[in-house]
Amino acid sequence: MKIWKPFELHTHTFHSDGKHSLLEMVKEAKMLGLQGLALTDHNTMSGLIGKEEVESQFDINIISGLEWTTFYGHMNMLGVSEYIDWREFTPKSIHTGIKKVHDKNGIVGIVHPYRIGSPICTGCFWEYHVEDWTDIDYIEVWSGTLPSVKKDNRRAFHLWTEKLNEGYQITAVNGRDWHETTELDDPIAATFLKVDKVEKNADGDRAFINAIKHGEVSVSMGPLIDMTLEWNEQKHPIGGEILIGRNVDMKAKVNITVDYSVRERKWELEDQNLKISINSNKGMLNENVLLMNQEQIVSSVNLEEIRWLRAELYGVFNGVYTMIAFTNAIYVINTSL
Ligand SMILES: [Zn+2]
Ligand SMILES: [Zn+2]
C-alpha cells in the first residue's frame, strides 16, 4: 500500500545561514504536521551530522541534500551523501555538475528561479542556460510561506507549465527555503510524497527521492488532492504515463479525491465551496464545484491531443482567493505519432 507523506524540501540550519539546528528544525517541523524534511544548507553538508539519531528520536525522515549556491542561480540536490563542488562549473557547463549528481543517484531541482537576484540576493535569480531540460528532475514552483499568492512563484509555476507543454516530464514541488521560525509566520505549503507504507525505510532516502523523480507528488497549503485517470479499464496515478494508439476510444474518467485530514489542525479553511480544475496542455478541461467537505469528484475528459493533465484546487485561503493545492501531472503518450 502507498501513502502520502508531507515533506518540507528546502531548509537551512546554522551550518549555513539558518537560525535552527537540525534538532530544533525537526521539532518545529513536527509542530507543523510534517513527517519529513530535506536539509539543503548552502554549499555544505555538515548540518547532517547526527541525522540518524534525530530521525529515530522524532520518527521523522530526513533527506540528505545541499543547495548549490552560485552567482548564476541556486540548485538543490537531494539524495546525495557527499559534497559536490560547484565552483568548477560555468554558466555554460551546468550539465557537467548535474551529471555528477545523477551519477551518485541524486536528483537536482531549480529553486526559486525568479526570486529577485543581485544586489538583494546574489545568485537567487536563475540565469544558467539549461541546454537539456531532461536533466532537470524538479522545479521549486512554490517558495516561501503562503506561496501561491507570490508573483515570482506564479512565474515559476508558469515555467513548469511551459516545460510540460514542451513535452518534458518535470516534477513541481514546494520549498519554503526555511531559515527560521517566528510567531508571525504565514501558513506553509507541504510537498506530499507518495511512498510504500513501511515501518522503517531500509534504503534511507531512496523511496522519497524516487517519488520526486517520478512525479508522485502533490503540493498543498491545506487539504491533499490526489487524482487517478482511468482509461481502457486501467487506472493511472499522478506521475504515471498512459500510452494510447490510433483509433481508440479517447474518453477517460478522472477521479479526484480530497483529504481534509492531512496536517490536521495545522491549517484552516473558512466555510466555502472550493473549485477543482483539471488543467492540461490544451488549457482548462473542466471546472468542478467542491461542496463543503466533499471528498470526491468524478468527471470525464477526452484525451484527444492531451499530453498531460493535473488537478488544481482553488478557494479563499488566509483571506485571499488563490490556488490552494495542485497535483503533479499524469502524462498521455500518443504512440501512433
Ligand atoms: Zn537559494
Ligand atoms: Zn535556500
Domain boundaries, the chain: 2-220, 224-334
Domains 2-220 and 224-334 share a fold: no
pLDDT band at residue 165, thresholds of 50, 70 and 90? very high
Ligand 2 centroid to Cα of residue 68, in Å, is 9
pLDDT category of residue 81 using cuts at 50, 70 and 90: confident
What is the b/e burial string over 165-184, where b = at least 16 CB atoms within 10 angstroms of the residue's CB?
eeebbbbbbbbbbbbeeeee
Nearest to 140, CA basis, from 177, 167, 169: 177
The ligand that comes nearest to the alpha carbon of residue 17 is 2
CA of 10 to the centre of ligand 2 (A): 6
Which pLDDT band, with edges at 50, 70 and 90, does 284 fall under?
Answer: very high
d(CA 79, ligand 2 centre) in Å: 16
Give CA–CA dist 115/92, Å, rounded.
Answer: 21
The Å distance, Cα 89 to ligand 1 centre, comes to 17
Res. 200 pLDDT band, cuts 50 70 90: low
Where residue 199 falls among pLDDT bands split at 50, 70, 90? low
Query: How far is CA 284 from each of CA 24, 141, 207, 287, 292, rounded to the nearest angstrom?
Result: 42, 19, 32, 8, 23
Angle at alpha carbon of residue 249, lines to 244 and 255, rounded to 5°? 80
CA distance 259 to 236: 19
Q: Which ligand is nearest to the CA of 18?
A: 2
| Å from CA of 258 to ligand 2 middle | 30
Q: Which residue has the higher pLDDT, 284 or 336?
A: 284
Distance 39 CA to ligand 2 centre (A): 10
Which residue has 517541523 as its cell numbers?
29
* Domain covering 2-220: architecture: Alpha-Beta Barrel (3.20)
Average pLDDT, integer, range 121-127 = 87
What's the pLDDT score for residue 89?
Answer: 72
- The alpha carbon of 40 and the centre of ligand 2 are apart by a number of angstroms equal to 7
Tell me the per-residue pLDDT of 316-335, one tens digit each, with 9 for 90 and over.
999 999 999 999 999 999 88
User: Rounded distance, CA 61 to CA 81, Å?
Assistant: 15
| Å from CA of 185 to ligand 2 middle | 17
Question: In the predicted model, is pLDDT for residue 118 greater than 80?
Answer: no
Question: How much is the pLDDT for 119?
Answer: 81
pLDDT at 201: 62
pLDDT of residue 337: 72
Residue 205 DSSP class:
T
CATH top-level class of 224-334: mainly beta
Ligand nearest the Cα atom of residue 177: 2
pLDDT at 203 over 80: no
d(CA 120, ligand 1 centre) in Å: 12
ipTM at complex level: 0.98
pLDDT band for position 238 (50/70/90)? Answer: very high
Ligand having the closest approach to the CA of 178? 2
Q: Are strands 73-78 and 61-70 parallel, antiparallel or unpaired?
A: antiparallel
